[in-house]
Structure formats: C-alpha cells, structure tokens
Amino acid sequence: MTRIIVVTSGKGGVGKTTTSAAFATGLALQGYKTAVIDFDVGLRNLDLIMGCERRVVYDFVNVINQEASLNQALIRDKRIDNLFILPASQTREKEALTMEGVETVLNELAETFDYIVCDSPAGIEHGAYMAMYFADEAIVVTNPEISSVRDSDRILGLLGSKTKRIIENRTPVKEHLLLTRYSPERVKNGEMLSVKDIQEILSIPLIGVIPESQSVLTASNQGIPIIVNKNSKAGLAYNDSIGRFLGEDIEFRFIDARKDSIFGKLFRGR
Amino acid sequence: MGLFDYFHASRKSSDVAKERLSILIARDHFHRNQPSFLSALQNELLEVIKKYVDIDQDDVTVSLDREEDCEILELNIALPEKGRYK
Ligand SMILES: Nc1ncnc2c1ncn2[C@@H]1O[C@H](COP(=O)(O)OP(=O)(O)O)[C@@H](O)[C@H]1O
Ligand SMILES: [Mg+2]
C-alpha cells in the first residue's frame, strides 16, 4: 500500500522543503521506492535542495496538462536508485494544480511507489490544500516561535476537517509534529519555547526535533539533502525521525543543552 | 513602569510566549468551532442596529454555546454613550 505524506506548516521558511528532501531521501535509503513532489508552483526549489535543478525538463503542471508523461517528468536521483523527484513549474499559477490532475498523478505514482512525499507551499490557500488533500500522514513542521506554532495549529484544523480521508469518513490523516531550528541553549536560557511547551499546545505526537545547524545551509549550497550528512546533528536528528516514522523507538537527542555539551565536544557544533 | 522596563522585566520571554500562545490558540479554536452563519448573523445585526445607533463592528458579538441538550445563542451589544444616538 502506498502512503502519501504531506510536509506542511502554514508559515513559510520553517523548513518544509529541507524536511521533504530529508524524509524522501531517508525513506529511499531504507529501501522504499519514494517520490517527492514539489507543490510550490511558481516558487520551485525542491530541485535545488535535491541537487537536480539542471536535469529538469518537464514538471508537475506539464504532467497534469498532459504535455508530458509522468515518466518523462520524473527525475531519478543521481545517488539513490529508488528515489525520484517531480519538480514544480516555475512559471505557472498555483491554480494550475487541479484536484483531478493531482489525483491522477498520485494514482499513477501509487501503482509503483511505496511513499509519495508532498512538499507543501506556505499558506492555507489552494496550493497547500492540494498538497494535503490526498494525504495519509502529515509531517507538521514547526519552529519554536509563536507565529509558527499558531499556523501549525491552523493547519491541524484543516487536516482534521478538509482532507479526503475526513470527507470520506475514513480514519483521519495521521499527524506528526516535527520541530525544526531548535536551540537547546536558548531554551535553557528561557529565550525560546521548549519542546514540552509546544507539544502541550499542539498535542500531537512528536516525531523529531531538528536542531538549528549551520550544516543545513552547507547542504543546500551543495544540493545534497542534509540527512546524508552523518557528521551533522541536524542530519542525525532527521535520521532518528525516519526511524520513528517507521515505528522504531528512538530516544530524543540534541534537545537538552547540558547533555549536548558533552556531545557537542564530539561534533564541534557541526 | 516605563517602556524600557518592559524589555528588562524579570520574566523569561519563553514563559511570556507560552502564555500568549495559549490564549491565542484557545481563541482560534473558539472561532473555528462556531458555525459559519454566525458571522453573517453578526453583520446583519450590525447593519440593523446601525440604522438607529452609531456603533462599531466590535460592539456586536455573537456566539453559540453548547450545553448537554441545548444550544445557547448569546448576543452582546455594547451601546455608545448617550451623545451618539441618532
Ligand atoms: N535545522 C535548520 N538549521 C538551520 N537552518 C535551517 C534549518 N532548517 C531549515 N533551515 C533554513 O531555513 C530556510 C528555509 O528552509 P526551507 O526548507 O526552504 O523552508 P520552507 O520550505 O518551509 O519555506 C533555508 O534557508 C534553510 O536552509
Ligand atoms: Mg519550501
């Protein structure tokens, strides 16, 4: 059975695309045939994070408009065989993603893929709605900041009322909280909302806490998803999240400033 | 307390954030769970009342509460001081 995962947040710039790339890569590395789709029509950048921007010929909207076949538009990752990217269109409007078009593409992917990761645009309008509508699971990406937590709560409201699963009276979308850009040090100093604060407010299961890390920018500069960097705390934290997603019981790390200082010596803040 | 003191208050900013967020989200949930006709009702009431009294958007609030087997529609209309009657 194919599982469709939406990576969503409401607020922009919180780490959705970074997370989509990390999750798709992580699942593929675990042996699952995975496709990752950029739903951010007009602001495509998943291809940059995945490092395949120079191989984009056709895009998601071309496939929806039947200007190209799905196989022509899918880009196979150059490092991982069972990982494919479907880029967004850079020139069209968000409305080019029709409900029927998106459903047709997802159905065709579902014939051969284990996981389909949908990288949602920011906002709560059409594009975000299309990205979440067909989802089985949702990764709600949240930063430890008031506006981001509030937007995540709004997204949870939509996931619980406007998705296909709800409309068809099936079990609701399975929701996971992913905290990103977390600074244990600032939490310790009382300058940042803690994991516990945010979990209390949003009350959905926590799948991961990704620390604020300079290696994320380096990874994006190079077009290599952060999850493959085993020397980076952020990379390791994404790896742990994949394990939890697949049902493993993994202890949280990089969330306690005191414990981290020991660990930090080994990693020198990378 | 001057404005300057606010930034130097002894409370941790993360505690302030949590408190503000809790209030904000409770309010969001309240609005989310209200039936959609309420805002239309509120606007129409406002139009009618405006014919007679000079009031603002915020002066009329409408909400619906559920209690076991009955629903209570609560209307709150804040009238202005005498001078503003038409
Ligand atoms: N854990 C992290 N540490 C540091 N920077 C991060 C982290 N996660 C994301 N970023 C940075 O935040 C910015 C926004 O990330 P992106 O994934 O594009 O967000 P979105 O897709 O939600 O708009 C990027 O510059 C990215 O490098
Ligand atoms: Mg993005």
Render pLDDT for B36-49 as a digit per residue (tens, 0 to 9): 788 888 889 999 99
Pocket test for ligand 1, best of A7, A17, A18 (most atoms within 8 A of CB): A18
Q: What is the model's pLDDT at position B2?
A: 59
Q: What is the model's pLDDT at position A10?
A: 93
Mean pLDDT of B17-41: 87
Q: What is the model's pLDDT at position B43?
A: 87
Confidence of residue A250 (pLDDT cuts 50, 70, 90): very high
Q: How far is CA A35 from CA A96, A174, A242, A261, in A?
A: 20, 19, 15, 37
Q: What is the model's pLDDT at position B55?
A: 87
Which of A150, A157, A192 lies at the smallest CB-CB distance from B14? A192
Task: Say how many C-beta atoms besides its own lie within 10 A of residue A149's C-beta.
Answer: 24
Q: What is the model's pLDDT at position A268?
A: 45
Chain B residues with CB-CB distance to A203 below 8 A: none
Mean pLDDT of A87-115: 94
For residues A179 and B56, which has the higher predicted lDDT (pLDDT)? Answer: A179
* pTM listed for this prediction: 0.87
Q: Which long-range contacts (CB under 8 A, 24 or more apart) does B71-77 make?
A: B75/B45, B77/B45, B77/B49
Residue that the structure tokens 């979440």 belong to: A132
Cα A162 to Cα A129: distance, rounded to the nearest angstrom: 8
For ligand 1, whether the C-beta of A120 sits within 6 Å is: no
A7-25 residue pLDDT tens: 999 999 999 999 999 999 9
The ipTM value here is 0.84
For ligand 1, whether the C-beta of A215 sits within 6 Å is: no
A189-214 residue pLDDT tens: 999 999 999 999 999 999 999 999 99
Chain B residues with CB-CB distance to A149 below 8 A: 21, 25
Q: Which of A226, A5, A26 is closest to A117 using CA atoms? A: A5
For ligand 1, whether the C-beta of A222 sits within 6 Å is: no
Cα A58 to Cα A61: distance, rounded to the nearest angstrom: 8
Q: What is the model's pLDDT at position A264?
A: 47
